[in-house]
Amino acid sequence: MANLRTSSILILTGMLLIGLLVFVTPAAADTNYAWLDVSSDPSGAWACIDSYDCHDTPITWTVDSSSYHRITVYMDGYEMYTEYVGAGSGQTTTYVRANLQPVPASVGWANVNNDGAQIWIDGVYYGNGAWSVPLSPGSHTLDLQKSGYYDYSSTFAITGGQTTTLSPAMTPYSQTSYGELQISSTPAGAAVFVNNNYEGTTSSSSPLYVTQLSPGSYTVRLTLPDYQTYTETSEVRAGINNDIWATMVPNTPGPTPDTTGQITVGSTPAGANIYLDNAYRGIAPMTLANVPAGSHTILLRQNGYSDWTSTVTVAGGDYAQVSGTLNPGQTPAPQPTKSPVSAITIISAIEICGAILLIRKRE
């Protein structure tokens, strides 16, 4: 009996020691992931990463380590904040602080003319060709990408109430030392990463070009909410434009029917503010995920243009596409709110106050 008791004590002690070792031994850090911590002043703004995942600030995203992402932050009455941010190495946090500036009383205009070039102003993609873009007074950046040409980048100034015309001449490749990627997806609205770097979002109107690539092997990855990640390895050769047509595959439905869908929203010109059922959701082009099945109202709004509205129906587990052309005009003063107070909330508050008064009266 004594030996049995001693054996039991030894076994129990061994189990306790093993448990302690498991508890105190730190788990191996996953160096494949890092974090982006985004805050804003004022707080409570609408922040989006890579034009498809949006939340109120402050928000922390888990991303691949050493990857690049476009962060946009918006709040009614303030200018949109845009920044390209590089995540750190594994298990590190990069902090982004968006100091929002009030919308100025007047705007100026940038007329950009370059047929066939992809136009980016202050990090926002506006499309191909010629565009007239309303901008706040001050300094802005212009980036152009065009197949067969070196990437172009410059700064320019905008004066309130005046128009600045930009017709930059792009330089063709001096020799065929670069290759390019031409990327499209079905459905559109997928975020594109090349070698883990964010390159933009696919559009239903034209492919996304990734230019000035040195010959070599590149990993192309497309992500879209509710769809499986698409990955392809492309061998880029000098003087060759590789086409990538990604058909996004929906996630396997669970045991219960999917009651949400997606809406891919575009605008002409690009960069319009998107409101879904009067709630701000981001900047076009953009894919709105987890939209309840049913009928919804899309409002597109941009400074210097008249509002554009449309009704779209979403089916569970499916996606819909909508694109609006905005006409130059005056933007009406009323602004949709991001989270309006419902009548039920007001009635409930009145009922609670009445109950408190009744209790005090009885006391």
- Find the CATH number of the domain harbouring 117: 2.60.40.1120
Q: Are residues 236 and 302 both part of a single domain?
A: no
Peptide bond into 269 cis (omega under 30): yes
Peptide bond into 253 cis (omega under 30): no
The reported pLDDT for the residue numbered 334 is 42
Q: Which of 99, 133, 152 is the last residue of a domain?
A: 99
**Closest C-alpha among 36, 45, 54, 43 to residue 265:** 54
CB 178 within 8 A of CB 213: yes
CA distance 186 to 280: 25
Q: Are residues 276 and 235 both part of a single domain?
A: no
**Closest C-alpha among 91, 92, 94 to residue 83:** 94
The reported pLDDT for the residue numbered 69 is 87
Indicate the DSSP class of residue 270.
Answer: S
Which residues is 110 bridged to in the sheet? Answer: 133, 164
Q: Are residues 155 and 92 both part of a single domain?
A: no
The residue written with tokens 């020691």 in the block is 17
Whole-angstrom CA distances from 101 to 77, 142, 177, 222, 307 are 9, 20, 43, 33, 23
Could you tell me the sign of the dihedral formed by the alpha carbons of 272, 132, 115, 194, in that order?
A: negative
User: pLDDT per position in the chain (363 positions), as tens?
Assistant: 555 555 555 555 555 555 544 444 444 456 788 999 999 999 999 898 887 778 889 999 998 888 888 898 888 778 888 888 888 888 899 999 999 988 777 778 888 887 778 888 887 777 676 777 778 889 999 999 888 889 999 999 999 888 899 989 899 887 778 899 999 998 887 888 999 888 888 877 778 889 989 999 999 999 887 788 999 999 999 888 899 999 988 877 666 677 888 888 888 877 788 899 988 887 777 778 778 889 999 999 887 788 999 999 988 777 788 888 888 875 444 444 444 333 333 334 434 444 434 444 444
The reported pLDDT for the residue numbered 95 is 95
Assess if residue 231 is contained within a domain: yes
Assess if residue 11 is contained within a domain: no
Q: Are residues 264 and 185 both part of a single domain?
A: no
The reported pLDDT for the residue numbered 48 is 87
pTM, whole model, 2 decimals? 0.66
Assess if residue 3 is contained within a domain: no
The reported pLDDT for the residue numbered 29 is 54
Q: Are residues 242 and 265 both part of a single domain?
A: no
Q: Are strands 294-301 and 308-314 parallel, antiparallel or unpaired?
A: antiparallel
Assess if residue 1 is contained within a domain: no
Instruction: Give the up-direction half-sphere exposure of residue 298: CA atoms within 13 A in the CB hemisphere.
Output: 31
CA distance 359 to 341: 27
Q: Which of 166, 193, 214 is the last residue of a domain?
A: 166
CB 190 within 8 A of CB 248: yes
CB 94 within 8 A of CB 37: yes
Assess if residue 171 is contained within a domain: no
CA distance 113 to 142: 12
Q: How many CB atoms lie within 10 A of CB 35?
A: 16
The reported pLDDT for the residue numbered 42 is 92
The residue written with tokens 């730190």 in the block is 26
Q: Which of 48, 68, 99 is the last residue of a domain?
A: 99
The reported pLDDT for the residue numbered 125 is 73
| Three-state DSSP state, 44 | coil
Which residues is 276 bridged to in the sheet? Answer: 279, 298
Tokens of 84: 């390209």
The residue written with tokens 């030392």 in the block is 177
CA distance 357 to 351: 10
Could you tell me the sign of the dihedral formed by the alpha carbons of 82, 86, 91, 94, in that order?
A: negative
Domain that holds residue 330: 253-358
The reported pLDDT for the residue numbered 232 is 95
What kind and span of H or E run contains 118? Answer: strand 108-121
Assess if residue 10 is contained within a domain: no
The reported pLDDT for the residue numbered 12 is 54
Q: Are residues 114 and 158 both part of a single domain?
A: yes
What kind and span of H or E run contains 358? Answer: helix 343-362
CB 298 within 8 A of CB 324: yes
Q: Are residues 330 and 261 both part of a single domain?
A: yes
Q: How many CB atoms lie within 10 A of CB 185?
A: 25
Q: How many domains does the chain have?
A: 4
CA distance 294 to 291: 9
Q: Are residues 336 and 267 both part of a single domain?
A: yes
Q: Are residues 148 and 188 both part of a single domain?
A: no
